[in-house]
Structure 1
Amino acid sequence: MSILRGTKKLLLAAGLAGCGAAAAVLFTGLHKDTESFKAHASSASLLLPDYKFINLHNYIATKWDYNWDRREPNSLIAPIKGDFGSLPECDQDDYNRRLEKAKSTATRHLLLIRHGQYRMDADTDELRQLTSLGRDQANRIGERLKELDLPYTRIIKSTMTRATETAEIIHTHLPDIPMTACDFIREGSPIVPEPPISNWKPEPKQFFQDGARIESAFRKYFHRADPSQKQDSYDILVCHGNVIRYFVCRALQFPPEGWLRFSLYNCSMTWVAIKPSGRVIVYTVGDTGHLSRAQMTTN
């Protein structure tokens, strides 16, 4: 208990007695095993009255899954049978060659663009067209992408009207980049959010249907490069706020239920890179540097 008392004094001296997160981190460092950590929970109630200790411990213990896209090289080739050390050297060399051949060498960049502002008072998707401001926003992100002058591979647009119109405006700035449409990245309800919000409650069947589709889109576009790809690629996906937020959570291996905890402006840019090792880097989320303050809208 002397360590616990000393920790309390340290926290109080630092002015952190009311900060649950900071206290929880220190306690986690002191008590590596779960049972010990839980045993001191009641003693720390003054500092951490409302914290769920076991959840924090489990979160910190979570490791990065390098085979999240099922493209980790050693999972793509058949293993050598028997004891590795007892096999002929030629078999080991063959295994190593196949392992190297299965490795990615290029980085896949995904630039996720949310559509421009649109008419929310319309009853059907066909009538939910971009507003005048939405077209201005689309022009600005088109100009931004052109200014970046990256070696873009393709533009993939959602088949919903507002995203299609946004993509077509972007395409006027990048006319040489091939453009295709994809139903998978249409707007939807990816997963029940946590915490929920009172003014948005889709029916369970909507999560069931949309969630499978949006997860399919994630698996289609988010993965490391094929070993045959020699140069880095830059795909532009013009889609929707819910879809992009879910993608970011999944790509970073964060709890996907947290997708509704952040927002994205219209025609903002989110930049995700998938390295050959399977590591994921997010360079920007909802970047609006190309928009004026008056052009920053969320509907």
Structure 2
Amino acid sequence: MATWSRFQKIAIISLGAVGGGFAYYQINSTRSDKKFDVQNSWTTNFTPSVKWDKNWDHREPASLVKPIRSDKPEEENRYNEQLEKSKSKAVRHLFLIRHGQYNVDGVTDKERTLTELGRQQADLTGQRLACLDIKWDLLVRSTMTRAQETAKIIAQHLDKNIEVKDCQLIEEGAPIPPEPPVGHWRPEPRQFFQDGARIEAAFRRYFHRAPPEQTQDSYTLLVCHANVIRFFVCKALQFPPEGWLRIALNHGSITWISILPSGNVVLRTLGETGHMAPKYISSRNNPT
């Protein structure tokens, strides 16, 4: 029995390690005809530390309809009808594309054009988006030169009738002081104050559930910048926004976020560059 007891301890330790510390296994008996009782550690007295804010986009139907003011049947009917009319019915798909590699030696924005590698990256990303066989509703471009060039190359692979808009709100910037701080990158506090408000406004403009009158899923492309995309991802998933700099994104990468009618948000891909051969992948802006 001493040998079996030792084996039992080893089994418990081993199975716990396989579960990554997320599950523990309890062996009720040393007899082979007994089943193992398996439990997950989080099922015991689990309370989420942070709950999902259902009204994060201020479009939760219950927040848009006047509450019931009396117990009259017609008042309840009125409330239920308006509640139903306020519900979203479609999914909003947002594809966030980082620009290609560009010349960092440029003094002005106009001089910070794509490198030859950056143009190849944009072309490969355009081919990848075309392969998805999606009917794109809108292409939004940052007004910075590297994003404009990237978007124009991508657009060559898409439907010629796609609506195109330029947006200054999604220009590159410093959204919020990162945590943990980065020693080699310390913008002035006023830069966070200025850029943060702008990028936050961009988030409110593009990240929300579909309006009730929208009956078909929509697909929007946003060609912009790494800092903006990383901040958007944290905000959309209701992660601490200060963690945006913990995410790395390659040039020409694709990040796909879906906003469901319920207001729930799904991150489908983050910084995807699997459509590029290794020789085309880069993340830093190397000089030409």
Q: Given residue 70 of structure 1, which amino acid in structure 2 is its aligned partner?
A: H
Q: Does 1:203 pair with 2:203?
A: no
The residue matched to 1:271 in structure 2 has which SS?
strand
Task: Provide the rounded CA distance (Å) in 1 between the counterparts of 2:69 and 2:228.
Answer: 43
Q: 2:277 aligns with which of 270, 282, 292?
A: 292
The residue matched to 2:156 in structure 1 has which SS?
helix
Paired residue total = 258
Corresponding residue number in structure 2 for 1:245 = 230
Q: Given residue 86 of structure 2, which amino acid in structure 1 is its aligned partner?
A: A
Q: Given residue 75 of structure 1, which amino acid in structure 2 is its aligned partner?
A: S
Q: How does 1:117-136 map to 2 (within 5 A)?
A: 117-136=101-120
Alpha carbons of 1:209 and 1:152: their partners in 2 closer, same or farther (altered >3 Å)? same
Q: Does 1:170 pair with 2:154?
A: yes
Q: Summarize deviations over 1:69-91 as a string: whole Å, max 9, x none.
A: 00000100111114xxxx22122
Q: Percent identity?
A: 54
Q: 1:276 aligns with which of 243, 246, 261?
A: 261
Q: Does 1:235 pair with 2:220?
A: yes
The residue matched to 1:99 in structure 2 has which SS?
helix
Corresponding residue number in structure 2 for 1:62 = 50
Q: Please tell me whether the aligned partners of residues 92 and 217 of structure 2 are also in contact (alpha carbons under 8 angstroms).
A: yes
Structure 1 residues not aligned, in runs of 5+: 1-8, 33-56
Task: Provide the rounded CA distance (Å) in 2 between the counterparts of 1:244 and 1:234.
Answer: 17
Corresponding residue number in structure 1 for 2:135 = 151
Alpha carbons of 1:103 and 1:30: their partners in 2 closer, same or farther (altered >3 Å)? closer
The residue matched to 1:61 in structure 2 has which SS?
coil
Whose helix proportion is higher, 1 or 2? Answer: 1
Q: Please tell me whether the aligned partners of residues 69 and 75 of structure 2 are also in contact (alpha carbons under 8 angstroms).
A: no
Task: Provide the rounded CA distance (Å) in 2 between the counterparts of 1:210 and 1:245.
Answer: 14
Q: Summarize deviations over 1:242-261 as a string: whole Å, max 9, x none.
A: 00000000000000001000
Give the TM-score normalised by structure 1: 0.81
Task: Provide the rounded CA distance (Å) in 2 between the counterparts of 1:170 and 1:177.
Answer: 12
Corresponding residue number in structure 1 for 2:67 = 79
Q: How does 1:28-67 map to 2 (within 5 A)?
A: 60-67=48-55
Task: Provide the rounded CA distance (Å) in 1 between the counterparts of 2:43 and 2:261.
Answer: 33
Task: Provide the rounded CA distance (Å) in 2 between the counterparts of 1:200 and 1:247.
Answer: 20
Corresponding residue number in structure 2 for 1:109 = 93
Structure 2 residues not aligned, in runs of 5+: 1-8, 24-39
Q: After TM superposition, where is structure 1 displaced by more than 4 Å over at least 4 residues in a row? A: 14-17, 20-23, 26-32
Task: Provide the rounded CA distance (Å) in 2 between the counterparts of 1:126 and 1:283.
Answer: 34
RMSD: 2.3
Q: Does 1:220 pair with 2:205?
A: yes
Shift of 1:27: 8.6
Task: Provide the rounded CA distance (Å) in 2 between the counterparts of 1:281 and 1:81.
Answer: 36
Corresponding residue number in structure 2 for 1:53 = none
Q: Given residue 97 of structure 1, which amino acid in structure 2 is its aligned partner?
A: E
Q: Summarize deviations over 1:81-133 as a string: whole Å, max 9, x none.
A: 14xxxx22122111100000000000000000000000011111110000011
Q: Summarize deviations over 1:262-292 as a string: whole Å, max 9, x none.
A: 1000000000000000000010000112111
Task: Provide the rounded CA distance (Å) in 1 between the counterparts of 2:22 and 2:261.
Answer: 35
Alpha carbons of 1:150 and 1:15: their partners in 2 closer, same or farther (altered >3 Å)? closer
